[in-house]
């Protein structure tokens, strides 16, 4: 059956091909070709390197808000004190921890390894902790990072380089997976981070449509942060902050040479919880809160911002939804032959993933892990059929039940206050 099906696929004309594979032609192939073309052209022209200005040395504050990070705090601080920029201010906000984070923090403060350490007796969430921390930061550039993150020795110095352009209000750092070796799930996520962040955000930056500065490692101009009122209550506060910067007229850049490593979920339930939260925030932030971004009558309307938002909604929401609609259509229209077509589509995904992984690796320097190539086929299946299902569930859940407003990521009393006002 598969042999006959393959022969039939090889003999079909263009019209038949389009009728069977319309989903890949409309949703998948253009994005794939765009990424390859943009990165290839930029590398060939030498435009992927951000300009560096001699003598540019802004004062830097690093803000580390955290909850129950006692095990990670010391390692993070010691790593920051080994940075090539050794004149940084470090501010740590303990957001109502119940572990030994306050003990570790006070000890590091007593040893002058932390400049400011504050303990909040009642947890209020990352946004509130960050806004409090901003008031203690004295640097003209404020870097926000997760405490369970570690950094290359020159990561801080490289991250602030794009601020030599006075129009830049935010810079996203590059993030890799530190615990990739743990199991199959973490290896899949390491591939995804390499492709979606190291390559994907590079492409978005080149096109001027970067709409995310990860809360795990990003820098902001102090003037810009205070002008937009700091962080709004999350989840999705990093995307919210980035959009507000762009709406206020600031540029947001990606610095691919500023690397940080983070641990990813090691179990499927933990990963699903994380991705449900991330996907719900797309509906909450981009469709509900900033729907006016599409209104050309607003004085701060930006066609690029509208296009960038369409890009995100198209490929993060409509693509997975349309894929499952496509699968249902295949089986209802072609019957058992749909398995042949779906196998061909999946084969395309695998080939495209191999190429994307190779390109991402070629621009990621020492963080390109060739050994992960063996796991690309499994990652492709996991991403196409598992993570897309999780995303669809999250979108429907948020549209119908608004569960992001009851996410334990933000304490309930804080969420209630946001709903009230």
What's the confidence (pLDDT) of residue 177?
Answer: 97
Q: Is residue 345 part of a domain?
A: no
User: What is the share, in percent, of the chain residues with pLDDT greater than 90?
Assistant: 67
Q: What is the pLDDT of residue 15?
A: 78
What is the pLDDT confidence band of residue 1, given thresholds at 50, 70 and 90? very low
CATH number, residue 234: 3.90.550.10
Partner residues linked to 177 by β-bridges: 262
Q: Is residue 353 part of a domain?
A: no
Q: What are φ and ψ of residue 419, in 5° steps? A: -60, -35
Alpha-helical regions (H) of 148-199 = 155-159, 184-193
In a domain, 99, yes or no: yes
Q: Answer yes or no: is 255 within a domain.
A: yes
Pair 86, 111: CB distance under 8 Å: no
Tally of domains within the chain: 1
Indicate whether 2 pLDDT > 90: no
**Domain assignment of residue 21, yes or no:** no
pLDDT in tens, 178-217: 999 999 999 999 999 999 999 999 989 988 999 999 999 9
**Is 244 part of any domain?**
yes
Asked if residue 286 lies in contact with residue 398, where contact means CB atoms within 8 angstroms, the answer is no
Residue 336 lies in a domain: no
Torsion angle (degrees, nearest 10) of CA 315, 247, 396, 30: -10
Owning domain of residue 183: 60-279
- Considering only residues 31 and 135, tell me which one the structure prediction assigns the higher pLDDT: 135
Cα dist. 93→131, 145, 168, 234, 410 in Å?
10, 12, 26, 17, 16
Tell me the per-residue pLDDT of 302-352, one tens digit each, with 9 for 90 and over. Answer: 999 998 998 899 889 998 999 999 999 999 988 988 898 899 889 889 998
CA atoms 357, 274, 231, 140: torsion sign? negative
pTM score: 0.92
Give the pLDDT of residue 19: 76
3-state helix, strand, coil in the chain (%, to 5): 60, 15, 25
């Amino acid at each position: 059956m598969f042999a006959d099906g393959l022969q039939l696929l090889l003999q079909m004309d263009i019209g038949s091909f389009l009728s069977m594979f319309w989903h890949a032609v409309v949703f998948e192939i253009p994005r794939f070709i765009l990424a390859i073309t943009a990165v290839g052209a930029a590398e060939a022209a030498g435009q992927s390197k951000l300009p560096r200005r001699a003598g540019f040395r802004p004062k830097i504050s690093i803000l580390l808000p955290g909850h129950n990070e006692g095990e990670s705090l010391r390692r993070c601080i010691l790593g920051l004190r080994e940075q090539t920029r050794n004149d940084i201010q470090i501010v740590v906000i303990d957001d109502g921890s119940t572990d030994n984070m306050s003990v570790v923090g006070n000890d590091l403060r007593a040893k002058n390894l932390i400049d400011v350490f504050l303990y909040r007796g009642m947890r209020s969430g990352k946004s509130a902790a960050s806004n409090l921390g901003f008031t203690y930061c004295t640097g003209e550039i404020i870097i926000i990072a997760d405490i369970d993150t570690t950094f290359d020795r020159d990561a801080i110095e490289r991250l602030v380089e794009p601020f030599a352009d006075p129009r830049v209000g935010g810079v996203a750092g590059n993030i890799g997976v530190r615990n990739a070796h743990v199991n199959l799930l973490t290896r899949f996520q390491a591939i995804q981070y390499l492709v979606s962040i190291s390559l994907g955000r590079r492409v978005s930056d080149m096109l001027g449509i970067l709409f995310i500065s990860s809360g795990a490692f990003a820098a902001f101009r102090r003037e810009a942060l205070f002008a937009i009122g700091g962080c709004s209550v999350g989840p999705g506060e990093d995307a919210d902050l980035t959009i507000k910067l762009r709406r206020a007229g600031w540029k947001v850049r990606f610095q691919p040479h500023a690397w940080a490593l983070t641990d990813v979920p090691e179990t499927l339930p933990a990963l699903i919880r994380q991705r449900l939260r991330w996907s719900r925030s797309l509906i909450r932030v981009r469709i509900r809160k900033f729907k006016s971004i599409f209104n050309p009558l607003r004085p701060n309307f930006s066609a690029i911002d509208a296009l960038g938002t369409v890009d995100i909604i198209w490929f993060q929401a409509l693509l997975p939804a349309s894929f499952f609609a496509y699968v249902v259509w295949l089986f209802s229209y072609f019957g058992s032959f749909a398995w042949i077509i779906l196998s061909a589509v999946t084969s395309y995904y695998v080939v495209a993933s191999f190429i994307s992984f190779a390109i991402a690796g070629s621009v990621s320097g020492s963080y390109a892990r060739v050994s992960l190539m063996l796991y690309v086929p499994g990652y492709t299946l996991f991403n196409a059929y598992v993570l897309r299902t999780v995303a669809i569930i999250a979108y429907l859940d948020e549209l119908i039940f608004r569960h992001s407003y009851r996410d334990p990521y933000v304490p309930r009393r804080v969420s209630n206050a946001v709903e009230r006002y």
